[in-house]
Structure 1
């Protein structure tokens, strides 16, 4: 195991691209007078700043989380001068397992009257861990300072007292964030996965995940709904991994419908279902080539205004004609920033907080006044890159060995028009149930700035293109997925890249793909970098044994010859290229022992390998110093391995 030391003294690009985003989250107060935003501090820490939008005062730091382990996830306004923040951390519980722990707190705009929106239980001893700190499901804009929130209840054993808590499971309560006055709304139940409210304080949908006798999920979610005039639950749908049934996402109280996703011809499509008792279903939108992957919301009530999907780039179809026209106008009015996102709004939706970005710009925040028709720039999402020359990203396809055209993105160094003569990097995405999109990506932009051509393939096994493309997934069908990735490397060579200067880098599943590519095609890539990689498929299943999703993960990874054949840690001796790995010791997504085992196996095989472990960091390494170190080390490793120095 190698502990980190900063290796970036002469690498200015590593400092710029490795720094966390300047603005991590932003929220507009209900009256439009104040803006709140999160800004990174040292390590994994963040500060909450509040600034008047009339320019009467400078930004004020009102709350700070040091990052060891408490971190700020988001802060949103619950009243004109009060915020609710998600505070979370990853720490080790019994047995040394990393666990995600969250809490909600409320604080005034001046940093005073801080309250934790958390049930501390009764006077007994808790019979389990209370990891989930709650989630707001309705911001109740008509009830100043109150929220509707899901809350976890853990039963307690009584010791000479009748005050021990007996409730068990997830329930819903209405909480006054100023004085913590609490009103029960939905009694706690075991196996609750989610509740969906209508933006007006009514819980209309509940989802449950049945648990077997061993305490493991059965791999389905059962949804029920209420009509607007009843408290009785009626069956809505049963959603399994196949997603052939309606999966609800939001409720529109005016139309009395639920919006959700459901498979149509093997792709996710948007539907709405009547909640009046008839369950009449209507197709809202389906794309012939890609999945619909979500809904666009606006306002304090989370009003659904459209659907979103990604073809070559992120797109949206708006139901609201005015907002559709506005989004089109904004895309034209903001030069070279065609990606538009409605981040937040005032209660009356007359002032909008907007983010706009592109492939060569990590994004800027704007305030738009719909009445005055004024667009006001606020700040850059990544101030460190304000004057940096970034590389255009080109959507393209290349041919796999079986003739299938693989969609991908090619990023060339600024000023270059061809990969010919350049060192190159194949950068497979994580997941595998994910996909790359057109836009700013700090990893690909960093390596382009360092002179590499970067190819990001949406290999078969990627999400977003329907069932036929996804297949079972990138683990069970690893040969196809890895074959597509390797064919991306071959395509780069056909474009003039020197075969001796071709490398691969991946994070999470991408790290797995990088290592497994080196097993399947030992001579193709001349250097391998894996960040937080899966290295043994059976280990990936077994690390979930203490969690309720153990059976679900087990079914996802599957059983059969692919467990042995598709686990790079079992074939370390086949890897001929130099290997560099990084992992955070508190990784909850992929246990750190995946990299530790792989490092040991590579050492035993006499391989040229290095391993860097970052103490107390999780899967995403959200620490600027760690990311800078990782980028600088990776660049130095590639230059040494590919003979670029």
Structure 2
């Protein structure tokens, strides 16, 4: 395999990113230079979404191997809307998804639009239903691309959200269609052919990858409140038939959750619980629903399929233990990935993101714990591997820390998996200033790999531990327990036990121990000061939940209100587990950050916490970012956040 480079410079910006002398807060705070990338059907072009200044995003199209610089096809400034992704419909045409926000009083909710455009940015069209002044409600979503088809034409198969018009007395003509349907659409002419008529009781459809709609899903609603439940009905069709027949009723504990339909074998890949963990099955779609176990892991959930080509053909499965693993059931790709691993021994995390239609060219991303990621084009026939782009060019010449998968013992003797990042050159040191950094969710998990926040703090000299506390996802039913809200005492106890383990091992200086968290991690950071008031010496909470009752109240205008209510529950644990209601126990300084357009956790959580701390003469600082959502997707804001966090920790941990 030949390893070379195709020097793609985005109007000089990439060279500027690599060569510029920047402060660490700017280097680590910059959003990923490459946020998403796709390969054209013929394998001769890529389109990639790149971070511009602040919260700007730019979709560039690059001719592979050409001397010309990539050209911008579309730009979003992050104010009217944000580009989420761009993909090729054909060699000459793209579809891009844009997300924006609508505010109605205290309520913020998203809307999305699908735009089709030529690779030079011309001939822009929207793919959703045409709006009317008589629509009975706002059309929140255009729909989703359901099947990218062959790429030989400008057509796709997409679900469309249809909104009916008001029936008027002055006209006999009105549009009654309501619900989600499927249309075959020419993205250039907008000529549409109805494939599935819109119906209200369908949330999404699935195809077999070759344009045939084989499955539909409907999330059940409570008959009295009409709010969503956690039960999803799946129905499927026999090959060549139109009648829908039951496939599964899924409720996260029972039933089958279909991931993909393989038209060639007339079967579906589905997840199903086995011994309390998710296992992957192949399910026959011939009417028998015969199931065959594909893979089960004894320790963690199987959590996904590995898919390639425009039809998302399944070639393997994946799961995460201490590190992420892949099992390929396609022999060609198993051999191919072995070759890539030999060619890139220092970049063990390798993913095939997309292929050309004939699968002779592969778009590959490779990364590690200490390398944020590099994008390559692999020419299968020539055996040539060409580097295209860097995920984070600002960090190209910055020494980055390695990450160890470790385990520590919780107070009840349970072994807790975690990741430990030690500063470069301090791998054998003791008595380090240290940070416990619980993840968000709570039904999520940390994985081995590059983490920009942990790496920033390690670069500043801190040892960082990231615990996968009980309540984390991916470890089966026995680990998720009641979830991190109902079972907050166990989850937060595991987080504080991580700090105690660091101290007991001699890694951490107990006088220089802080806790930093985002979202649920911010909640755990604040709640740790309620249950262990003197364990940490400083708290940084980013977009934190501060009041469980308020979190339930935030959902009251949305269809998932019952789901949030059930997740949090009722009882003494709600008040006891709300930092806002236990502020009198705080003895250490708090720094909080929050975007005022956060749809995940309302900014009122931070504002009320800050006010309550000040009312009781506690130390609190807060930074509210105007116009930003939960992820604070703005390079300037993230840079400022890291700068402020660094000064806060040094001051309050007494670090010279």
**Shorter-normalised TM range:** over 0.9
Residue 317 of structure 1 is aligned with which of 315, 319, 327? 327
Contact 1:11 1:632 in 2 (8 A): no
Hey, what's the Cα distance between the residues in 1 that align with 2:387 and 2:152?
31
Is contact 2:89–2:151 with CA below 8 Å preserved after alignment?
Answer: no
Aligned match of 2:137 in 115, 128, 139?
Answer: 128
**Aligned partner of 2:652 among 633, 641, 645:** 641
Q: Find the aligned partners of 1:550 and 1:498 in 2 and give their Cα distance.
A: 44
1:601-643 superposed Cα distances (whole Å, 9 cap, x missing partner): 1111111011110011000000000001111111111111111
Partner of 1:186 in structure 2? 196
Local SS of the residue matching 1:125: coil
Distance in 1 between residues matched to 2:482 and 2:278, nearest whole Å: 16
Q: Is the 8 A contact 1:124 1:157 kept in 2?
A: no
8 Å Cα contact 1:193-1:221 kept in structure 2: no
**In the alignment, does 2:528 pair up with 1:503?**
no
Question: Matched residues in 2 for 1:450 and 1:520: separation?
Answer: 28
Counterpart secondary structure, 1:418: coil
Q: Hey, what does 1:358 align to over in structure 2?
A: 368
**Distance in 2 (alpha carbons) for counterparts of 1:42 and 1:360:** 25
2:630 is matched with which residue: 602, 619, 623?
619
Task: State the alpha-carbon separation in 2 of the partners of residues 558 and 143 from structure 1.
Answer: 52
Superposed counterparts of 1:422-571, under 5 Å: 422-496=432-506, 497-571=508-582
Instruction: Pick closer, same or farther for the CA change 1:45–1:213 going to 2, 3 Å.
Output: farther
**Match of residue 148 from structure 1:** 157
1:137, CA displacement in angstroms? 1.1
Q: Residues 358 and 440 of structure 1 are in contact (CA less than 8 Å); yes or no, is this contact kept in structure 2?
A: yes
1:330 equivalent in alignment to 2:340: yes
SS at 2:375 equivalent: strand
Q: Which residue of 2 aligns with 1:3?
A: none
Equivalents in 1 of 2:22, 2:624: separation in Å?
Answer: 21
> TM-score with structure 2 length normalisation?
0.95
For the residue of structure 1 that corresponds to 2:243, the secondary structure is: coil
Aligned residues of 2:41 and 2:151 also touching (Cα < 8 A): no
* 8 Å contact kept, 1:306–1:318: yes
CA distance in 2, matches of 1:418, 1:629: 31
Number of residue equivalences:
633
Q: CA deviation at 1:423?
A: 0.4
Note the residue ranges of structure 2 that are not aligned, 5 or more in a row.
1-20
- Cα distance in 2 between the residues matched to 1:505 and 1:142: 46
Which residue is 2:102 aligned to? 91
Alignment partner of 2:34 out of 23, 27, 31: 23
Tell me, yes or no, if structure 1 residue 379 matches structure 2 residue 389.
yes
Match of 1:600 among 587, 592, 611: 611
Are the aligned partners of 1:91 and 1:586 in contact in 2 as well (CA < 8 Å)? Answer: no
Q: TM-score normalized by structure 1?
A: 0.96
Equivalent-residue separation in structure 2 for 1:509 and 1:183 (angstroms): 45
| CA-CA distance at 1:43 after TM superposition | 2.6
Shift of 1:116: 0.6
Q: 2:298 is matched with which residue: 285, 288, 299?
A: 288
Q: Which residue of 1 aligns with 2:220?
A: 210
Decide whether the 8 Å contact of 2:91 with 2:151 is kept in 1. no
Distance 1:549 1:49 in 2: 37
- Runs of 4+ that moved beyond 4 A: none
Query: For residues 111 and 333 of structure 1, what CA distance do their matches in structure 2 show?
Result: 36
Show CA shifts across 1:476-506 (max 9, x none): 1011101100000001111222211000000
- 1:298 aligned onto 2:303: no
Asked if 1 retains the 8 angstrom alpha-carbon contact of 2:48 and 2:86, the reply is: yes
Q: Which residue does 2:4 correspond to in 1?
A: none
Matches within 5 A, 1:5-84: 12-84=23-95
More divergent stretch after superposition (328-337 vs 631-640): 328-337
Aligned to 2:268: 258
d(CA) in 2 for partners of 1:105, 1:142: 17
